[in-house]
Amino acid sequence: MASTIFTQIPFQSKSLNKISNTHFVPSFKLPVSLSYNPRTALPKSLRVRAGLIEPDGGKLVDLHVAEPERELKKREAASLPRVKLTEIDVQWVHVLSEGWASPLTGFMRESELLQTLHFNSLRLDDGSFVNMSVPIVLAIDDSQKESVTESNSVALVDSDDKLIAILTDIEIYKHPKEERIARTWGTTAPGLPYVEETIKNSGNWLIGGDLEVIELIKYNDGLDRFRLSPMDLRREFERRNADAVFAFQLRNPVHNGHALLMTDTRRRLLEMGYKNPILLLHPLGGYTKADDVPLSWRMKQHEKVLEDGVLDPETTVVSIFPSPMHYAGPTEVQWHAKARINAGANFYIVGRDPAGMGHPVEKRDLYDADHGKKVLSMAPGLERLNILPFRVAAYDKTQGKMAFFDPSRAQDFLFISGTKMRTLAKNKENPPAGFMCPGGWQVLVEYYDSLTPSEDGKIPEPVPA
Amino acid sequence: MASTIFTQIPFQSKSLNKISNTHFVPSFKLPVSLSYNPRTALPKSLRVRAGLIEPDGGKLVDLHVAEPERELKKREAASLPRVKLTEIDVQWVHVLSEGWASPLTGFMRESELLQTLHFNSLRLDDGSFVNMSVPIVLAIDDSQKESVTESNSVALVDSDDKLIAILTDIEIYKHPKEERIARTWGTTAPGLPYVEETIKNSGNWLIGGDLEVIELIKYNDGLDRFRLSPMDLRREFERRNADAVFAFQLRNPVHNGHALLMTDTRRRLLEMGYKNPILLLHPLGGYTKADDVPLSWRMKQHEKVLEDGVLDPETTVVSIFPSPMHYAGPTEVQWHAKARINAGANFYIVGRDPAGMGHPVEKRDLYDADHGKKVLSMAPGLERLNILPFRVAAYDKTQGKMAFFDPSRAQDFLFISGTKMRTLAKNKENPPAGFMCPGGWQVLVEYYDSLTPSEDGKIPEPVPA
């Protein structure tokens, strides 16, 4: 998947007809005795209707300290033991503070980590489940553990010792690194980007608790205006009178294949009877691996795509999803979908091999390309979300544009690989007309132009779609 | 865990009081927002009351072909492509055929395997979940795949080409070995017994489908009379007018610490108001690793324990659980508990590090000793089962018998290690009086006596409790 540009479009409306008030299930085989029947599986109270979907747990979590108490909390924090956060830890504080992980109220305690690792879900007081597939945990080392064990709260500070938050009612427990990696990625092979970056050299202990975040987290990179919280997004969707919100998670440049998919999805939602479906174009803004196109360049490219009118600004909201990237395939796509429920999305577009990557050691993709959408369609706690799988589109030479791939005339289609795209952009050549809007392409040309080859003379490879 | 003999007894009745009509939860911390509250989590209709608990899915599965159709099925099978089963495959056919895995109707199709690996549970038509934590799958190699792809059914035969069953409505899909191992065991380290035995060299494909089992599976080892099916057991419990059934899974010799635990549990259930609690003493009879005491010797030992009156035959049912052993800790203990629900048990005794073992590579236990009972207490689909955790007992020198370990007078207690026990038995010496009934001990002496040292002169080590 990593080496081919493609985009996909929803299955035939025959299947899509089921979507309007149920959880869409792709047509892979389920034995009768255990077949997933969304109509029976979905409690009436949760049926998706016009208006915004309820956040997980019924209430959107907001972990920010209210202005009046802020000074008090700062003084309180001054007397607490300190735990230093990495950049990625701060990204998770950001994610938690705005309620993307509702109903989580802070870094996971052991009972939440165990439920996440074994069940990809958390059980609520009423016995219902919310989805939670990715561990959101904070690691500390032995000396940090020593320094905090006497206290019930700790102050969380960034690399400049700036106070970020207070973690209260703390629980410290063993960091089961190998088990965490195996159950999250389905492999322990060396070279998993997030593992190398955040787990391998992290502490042997995890500290869970409830977060009190002192100030809104800003990155001052000129993109903070795009970082809308789930509450901001819900207000925006309401302002626009959206009766359906369909989310498109991406971490790569948008080409016309994606645009085709998104506009076609809106058309289908209108066909289904929705009056005003709004697209949440939601690039991931947290940690990504070195060969992904950086957020700043992606945002420039997305802006051009909107300027060039490929997508309609009237019915599109572009915002940044602050989560770091795990590249954990079927496990992570659940997190990507669940977080968008909290932001008000009731439709989620899922592609081939979501959150996937090549196996770090073996010559194959890490995950089966179809497992992501299958797991997503069966995941506990996501019954209320309508899953929109899509099939491959490619460049149709006969039409001179991106179109749904038609196997019966395969020879008419051109799959433009990442290598091919990089080579074109690097040589300042143009792709086939209609592959990407000129403004967006120009941004990519500038990006690759800006890259200085690394020691081994290799330039990072973009991984579109 | 592997090196110490211990047994454990339920927490104080203070906590046990909660058990009578709810799913017991140990006192480890759950954050308020996500705390597991059994009273609300448990639908009224499922509250455990006097009488036998309902099987998963509401109906106990029986996959045997009825006598009248047997000949017809045999003729049908003769014309089908054949798949040869390993001994462990046959054990799984046995497990499936009697409904231990109800509502599963055969080897898992991909949708069931994915739910098992990611969610440890399967969703039913009504949207409810049953627990299913261990993959029950059948692997085939490329050539076998070739030979069956044209057919909708295959004949399953044993190593002597004897017809065992027909698998119908088959689905063949990739065998994701690495992912299956990582998500089941939480490690991919080499040396996991079940992995080495059944997965490492197995085929690259899995074949799922519905089973039609031609004849009852017998082992002709003199122990078949102990192999009661879930239906047999339910009939037996009803015959005895059991109003509570508490299951004790084991794969090791029973010493007086276990006996203490089991009799004490019955006493507590009587205290709770149950009139006739029956113990299901349920040794695992399928595949076990080389250093476990073989089933035949364990059964001899269990019989002695009953003969010697350590356990009351009137209130105890000894039967063999036909499942193979995974040694997958918190993942597998869910399977051990779920299967006993199908056999009519509504109480399950869980010890320290259930289904655990030493890490195959590192010098540590593979699993945190407390994770098993924690995961079990939170597992989807096990809400109806009352979990009875127990704490360590050891040999009390002051009383000359096994007793609950009292940390305040630790010096009074003797923990008899597996090595110590082996040395004693090997040298035909006796353990401290009161450690194990003489008849049971004699069996162990005979077992170790019967062992011929392997090349490296080492004798397999028993791993009691």
Output the CA angle A91-A97-A98, nearest 5 degrees.
100
Angstrom distance (rounded) from CA A457 to CA A462: 16
Top mean pLDDT of B64-68, B413-417, B438-442 is at: B64-68
Please name the residue of chain B whose CA is at the shortest distance from the CA of residue A210: B31
CB contact under 8 A, B123 and A186: no
Nearest CA in chain A to B190: A188
Of B111, B174, B379, Cβ closest to residue A30? B111
Whether residue B232 contacts residue B318, with contact meaning beta carbons closer than 8 Å, is answered with no
Percentage of residues in chain A with pLDDT exceeding 70?
A: 85
Instruction: Give pLDDT tens digits for B165-199.
Output: 999 999 999 999 999 999 999 999 999 999 999 99
Question: Of B118, B121, B179, which is closest to A187 when you measure between CB atoms?
Answer: B179
pTM equals 0.88
* Distance of residue A384 Cα from the nearest chain B Cα, in angstroms: 12
Residues in chain B with CB shorter than 8 Å from the CB of A331 are: 118
pLDDT band at B433 (very low <50, low <70, confident <90, very high): confident
pLDDT, tens only, A99-155: 999 999 999 999 999 999 999 999 999 999 999 999 999 999 999 999 997 899 999
Q: Scanning the structure block, which residue is given the tokens 């008419």? A: A412
Give which of A23, A30, A34 to mutate to test B binding, by max B Cβ within 10 Å: A34
What is the spatial distance between Cα B327 and Cα A49, in angstroms, rounded to a whole number?
46
Determine whether the interchain pair A374/B110 forms a contact, defined as Cβ–Cβ distance below 8 Å. yes
Nearest to B114 among A176, A187, A378 (CB): A378
Closest by CA to A275, choosing from A304, A310, A245, is: A245
ipTM of the complex: 0.88
CB contact under 8 A, A118 and B120: yes
> CA-CA distances (angstroms) from residue B355 to B34, B195, B284, B325, B349?
27, 15, 11, 8, 13
CB contact under 8 A, A185 and B182: yes
pLDDT at A215 over 60: yes
Nearest Cβ partner for B186 among A125, A179, A379: A179
Kindly report the nearest CA distance between residue A125 and chain B, in angstroms: 5
Q: Residue A23's closest chain B neighbor by CA?
A: B127
Q: How far apart are alpha carbons A391 and A351 in whole angstroms?
A: 7
State which residue of chain A sits closest to B117, comparing Cα positions. A118
Q: How far does the CA of residue A187 sit from the closest CA of chain B (Å)? A: 6
Neighbouring C-beta atoms of residue A64, cutoff 10 Å: 17
Query: Which residue in A has a C-alpha nearest to residue B209's C-alpha?
Result: A31
Give B419's pLDDT tier (boundaries 50, 70, 90): low
Residue A465 pLDDT: 38
Closest residue in A to B328 (Cα–Cα)? A179
Lowest mean pLDDT segment, chosen from A4-18, A401-415, B267-281: A4-18
Nearest CA in chain A to B121: A119
Residue A442 has what pLDDT?
A: 92
Token couple for B430: 């006796």
pLDDT digits (tens, 9 = 90+) for A281-303: 999 999 999 988 999 999 999 99
pLDDT in tens, B337-360: 999 999 999 999 998 899 999 999
- Name the residue among A34, A37, A375 with its Cβ closest to that of B112: A34
- Per-residue confidence at B115, pLDDT binned at 50, 70, 90? very high
* Distance in Å, alpha carbon of A280 to nearest chain B alpha carbon: 28
The residues near A177 (Cβ < 8 Å, ≥ 6 apart) are A199, A200, A202, A204
Per-residue pLDDT tens over the stretch B130-158 = 999 999 999 999 999 999 978 999 999 99
Give me B392's structure tokens.
């360590």
Residues of B in contact with A375 (CB under 8 A): 114, 118
**Residue in the structure block whose two tokens are 């609520």:** A124
Per-residue model confidence (pLDDT) at position A458: 53
Q: Which of B28, B115, B122 minimises the CB distance to A111?
A: B28
- Please report which confidence band the pLDDT of residue A454 belongs to, taking 50, 70 and 90 as the band edges: low
CA dihedral of residues A329, A332, A338, A343 (deg, nearest 10): -100
Query: Which two structure tokens, joined as six digits, stand for B148?
Result: 């069956």
Transcribe B86-121 into DSSP letters.
PHHHHHHHHHHHTTTTTT--SSPPHHHHHHHHHHSE
User: Chain B closest CA to A322's CA: distance in Å?
Assistant: 23
Asked if the Cβ–Cβ distance from A127 to B43 is below 8 Å, we say: yes
For chains A and B, count residue pairs whose Cβ atoms are closer than 8 Å. Answer: 177
Q: Please, which pLDDT band fits residue A10 given cuts at 50, 70 and 90?
A: very low
**Residue range A164-188: mean pLDDT, rounded:** 98
Q: Please tell me the distance in Å from B37's CA to the nearest CA on chain A.
A: 5
Closest CA in chain A for residue B124 = A34
Mean pLDDT computed over B99-122: 98
pLDDT at A48 over 50: no
Over residues A346-363, the pLDDT tens digits come to 999 998 899 999 999 999
Contact flag B28-A127 (C-beta cutoff 8 Å)? no
A172 to chain B: nearest residue by CA? B29
Give the closest-approach CA distance of A366 to chain B in angstroms.
Answer: 9
Is B115 in contact with A378 (Cβ distance < 8 A)?
Answer: yes
- pLDDT at residue A244, rounded to an integer: 97
Top residue of A116, A121, A125, A365 to mutate, by most chain B CBs within 10 Å, is A125
Please name the member of B33, B127, B378 whose beta carbon is closest to the beta carbon of A114.
B378
The dihedrals phi and psi of B175, each to the nearest 5 degrees, come to -95, 100
Render A161-219 in DSSP notation, one character per residue. --EEEEEEEEEEEE--HHHHHHHHHS---TT-HHIIIIITTS-SEEEEEEEEE-S----
| Nearest CA-CA distance, residue B256 and chain A, Å | 33
Would you call B30 and A111 a contact, using CB atoms and an 8 Å cutoff?
Answer: yes
Chain B residues lying within 8 Å of A380, measured CB to CB: 119, 121, 123, 129, 380
